[in-house]
Amino acid sequence: MGTARAGIKHSGKKDLLVVYFEKPVLVSAVYTKNHFKASSVIYSKGLTDKRNLFRAFVVNSGNANCGTGKEGLKHAQMMAQRVAQNLGIKPEEVLVFSTGLIGALLPIGNVLEGIDKACSELKPLNLREASEVISTTDRFPKYAQRDYAFGFGKGAGMIHPNMGTMLAYIFTPAKLTFDTLREIHLRVTEKTFNSITVDGCTSTNDSFLLISLGEEEIPVEKIEKDTFEVAKKISKLIVADGEGATKIGIIEVVNAKSEEKAKALAERVATSQLVKTALFGCDPNWGRIAQAVGSLPQYPIDPDRLD
């Protein structure tokens, strides 16, 4: 990895990260379902829809490169080209990600100079430092490691499923087929980043990569277990760091007829402003939870069976 100060963040802190792989790695990617997507998401999704082997990715923080039209898309392409030029790889082998303020163009000259610097000072991946570099309003870094998976991420505001509002990158040393990697990725995403909320707002820049480094044969169940644990840890850290958050709530739905119904009920409770104010005020007002549960027309409940 390489890092740099590209002059995007007003604080003067590092705001550019390049992660490079010495050989092609297998990548599964999921992105925001918000229709108002950032230019970097449009660019990278265009690549991952067509191929799954990559050599590098670059992340800038402090500017979302969103709502920037054709110029923003051109800037994302320029970032990939500059990384490729520095590392001697193809532009289509480089993914691009951005996070930060929506609606402003990147200071692309500074960003390209930052890429040059980051690529000239590559070193082994440091999860904590990588998370700090891509952070925006985060109060602390988000990273985790298990035997067969490790990763880092960021996120504190615009946190809601589809995906969660964040960037996250998880790596496994395992040799996998793309189909197996994808299946693990989608299951883990649904159970972790697609199951958290802070403010009910789905970000324009959400991206989550699961990367197979192809180094060793590992039982699939061990890979999925550790990938899930890493994603769960990072997602909980994102919730704990929610902008203005003072409490963490875990919603459990027991004996629902389907996972779909359970998730819908849990999400309704989790996004209820009345439930949130009760938690903030340390007021165990169960009536607010009952109100939320009973407000889903597609999933009617029997009040007489309320325990």
pLDDT higher than 60, residue 244: no
Provide mean pLDDT across the span 155-162: 54
Measured distance CA(147)–CA(250) in Å, rounded: 26
Q: How many residues does the chain have?
A: 307
By C-alpha distance, which of 125, 123, 154, 152 is closest to 138? 154
Alpha-carbon span 186 to 303, nearest angstrom: 35
Output the pLDDT for position 287. 75
Q: pLDDT band at residue 240, thresholds of 50, 70 and 90? A: confident
**pLDDT tens digits for range 31-51:** 987 888 899 999 999 999 999
Which pLDDT score, from 0 to 100, does residue 162 have? Answer: 45
Which among 3, 99, 136, 165 is annotated as catalytic? 165
Mean pLDDT along residues 76-104: 97
Task: Taking residues 90-104, report their average pLDDT.
Answer: 94
Q: Render pLDDT for 130-154 as a digit per residue (tens, 0 to 9).
A: 999 999 888 899 999 999 999 999 9
For residue 283, the model assigns a pLDDT of 73
273-302 tens-digit pLDDT: 777 777 767 777 777 777 777 777 888 877
Q: What is the pLDDT of residues 177-216, one digit of tens each?
A: 999 999 999 999 988 887 665 544 445 667 899 999 999 9
When comparing pLDDT for 164 and 36, which is higher? 36
With 80 as the cut, is the pLDDT of residue 161 above it?
Answer: no
Calculate the average pLDDT of the chain: 88
- Contact at 8 Å (CB) between 196 and 164? yes
Q: DSSP string spanning 156-200? A: SSS--SSS-SSEEEEEEEE---HHHHHHHHHHHHHHTGGG--SSS
Can you give the pTM of this predicted structure? 0.79
- Give the per-residue pLDDT at 136: 87
Q: Looking at the predicted structure, is the pLDDT value of residue 232 above 90?
A: yes
Q: Which domains does the chain have, with CATH numbers?
A: 2-240 (3.60.70.12), 259-305 (no CATH)
Quick one: residue 67, left, alpha or beta (phi over 0 = left, psi -120 to 50 = alpha)?
left
**Residue 241, phi-psi category: left (phi > 0), alpha (psi -120 to 50), beta (remainder):** alpha
Looking at residue 88, its pLDDT comes to: 98
Contact 259, 287 (CB under 8 A): no
Asked about 189 being catalytic, the answer comes back as: no
pLDDT surpassing 70 at residue 157: no
Q: What is the per-residue pLDDT for 159?
A: 41
